[in-house]
Structure 1
């Protein structure tokens, strides 16, 4: 155990360069690359872009549980790019090898078994690929608090960087547009917006469905006079 003291010291306060040097050059390069992708993503000019022209990446994560502070980890990433109100056709999916075991209830829910992740990429490698895919796009997720928290924790754990992207929540937008419905689940809102319900609790399939929900909402928002990303932020900040 004492032989690992330098490693844990690096995690506590050594920063990415020192941590990277201990992990080897390829990892150091990956850390630097991922950190570069988390910066400068909140440019003010983005607020003036019409939603039907806004470049977004709709994403979803599957995790071993709901409590990252108790050791739960990401086991798969999914994302689809949307250009304005049209799917770009570009998609991302990857399993991710967690340090913890996958509980039976999560295996049943997601179909992801311990055997499936044994040869999966590491968290750092998957983050590098995922962040490279989403690039500087505005991120969108349904019930985004869970996904955003796990993503931010994963970034800090591997690179000592925080998520710098803007993140929109389709659940919050839907509830703001139609507060009388009292709905929250993705399944319910997909039915409301008549988006085909595909395979649930699969990161890529959930991303595809959520992208359909987002695209449907853009027209609803336009009808309410909400045209730009800035308009949307103002709309979401208003009390009922």
Structure 2
């Protein structure tokens, strides 16, 4: 598998996408696999894409991906009963021997996603399914980005990102603490309000004016 220590050259992407839609697609392991397969070889019938899954499940996922603008469907001139599926031209993909890299631009950040790639053994081994599941949930994603941008904060300061009530925010933060994404510490300025921070294991760095969260297979660049 490819090692992400070597940067992948991605084409420029100017079209802004809906982050909720993109991460809802990436949050499902089968959809990620379908993206990789279609990036490698376009114009395939669903029957050729369901190698390890039920055909009906594959067709349902392809329908969701079509609705999200990730996949297009065309008539099959060789077999009118089986439509052909391809990756949408709107999705930027760079294919290498062992992985496929995608580049997505959103309103306030961008994401570089490598499907099928390995991470450096020197990095914390984040579980791909877990990370994409977290990013697929809008509130947890907003909390992750808010902590990356703003550093340690009490829950009340995160309520705008964390939900309609402080209880919603605290529940999400508790789940993220259990998952190892967030830590909680005493607040020296206000003993009644604990401070929440990204876990030291979350690979947060600074690149110029941007913050970067690099999970290896998914890099978030915060403008």
Q: Give the TM-score normalised by the residue count of structure 2.
A: 0.29
Higher strand share: 2
Higher helix share: 1
Q: Give the TM-score normalised by the residue count of structure 1.
A: 0.28
